[in-house]
Amino acid sequence: MKILITGANGYIGTGVVKALLTLKQDVVATDFNTDGIDERAKAIAGNLFEIENPYEYFGKPDVVLHLAWRNGFVHNSETHLGDLPNHFTFLSKMAESGVKKIVALGSMHEIGFWEGRIKENTPCNPMSLYGISKNSLRESLDLLCNQKNILFQWIRGYYIVGNSEKGASIFSKITSAEKEGKTEFPFTTGKNQYDFIDYDEFCNQIANVAINNDVTGIINCCSGEPESLASRVERFIKDNNYSIKLKYGAFPDRPYDSLAVWGDNAKIQEILKQNGVL
């Protein structure tokens, strides 16, 4: 299949491009700049939202994998709401022109405060502008794809673990602090339990979703298991042989984060089985 990946030069995008190329897919990768994109992909630099007919412009892809999103780690940035119409308009143009499937990246922050396992039908009550905007895009695309008879997959992402300085996760920040020679990293209590997934595995799961047409709807890309933030971060520091120490209690726990939340991974496991990965 020819797969268009938006946000392809971002933290997640670069890994997903490589994963899809490994799966022998025809990849068209686009972002504002393309300096970090695997050279095996066809890279096109530009602003998605300014293209009149993106389906034709990007060579009539079979699938659009929409990863583009800015300020994902700034949960109450007003850009989330401001950009929302542009995301929907772009994907609407793709749907109107002939794309066969839309795959978009969501977030567990669509759910809001929740204790326990997040399933496909878990009710959403987002508590940040990021979560509200992602959830609104999901609902809008679900309606659009039903009307146009287009396959729709919504990838719900969880907590990604990777030692790249690219990105703004706690793991990226710790890596940067370690390289800067800092001895302490300000931290919360670390008691909250989340669903952590290694970067390469997350990218691999996204790639496998994109090439599978049998399992649709909301798909949790996750480990399926809860682990405390303190435990996972301490393990990350040890695995990478960092010398930095956590300064517990320097920051308060966020009021909209639950004590324990993780994803139901049944659908992604089914996809991996169908694709011959498991």
Q: Which residue numbers are catalytic?
A: 130
What is d(CA 14, CA 39) in angstroms, rounded to the nearest whole number?
Answer: 11
What is the number of other CB atoms lying within 10 angstroms of the CB of residue 17? Answer: 29
| Contact of 134 with 110, CB cutoff 8 Å | yes
| Dihedral class, residue 95 (left if φ above 0, else alpha if ψ from -120 to 50, else beta) | alpha
What is d(CA 73, CA 157) in angstroms, rounded to the nearest whole number?
Answer: 13
Inter-CA distances, 247 with 165, 234, 272, Å: 20, 12, 39
Q: Which two tokens stand for residue 77?
A: 């940035």
CA atoms within 13 A on the CB side of 191: 8
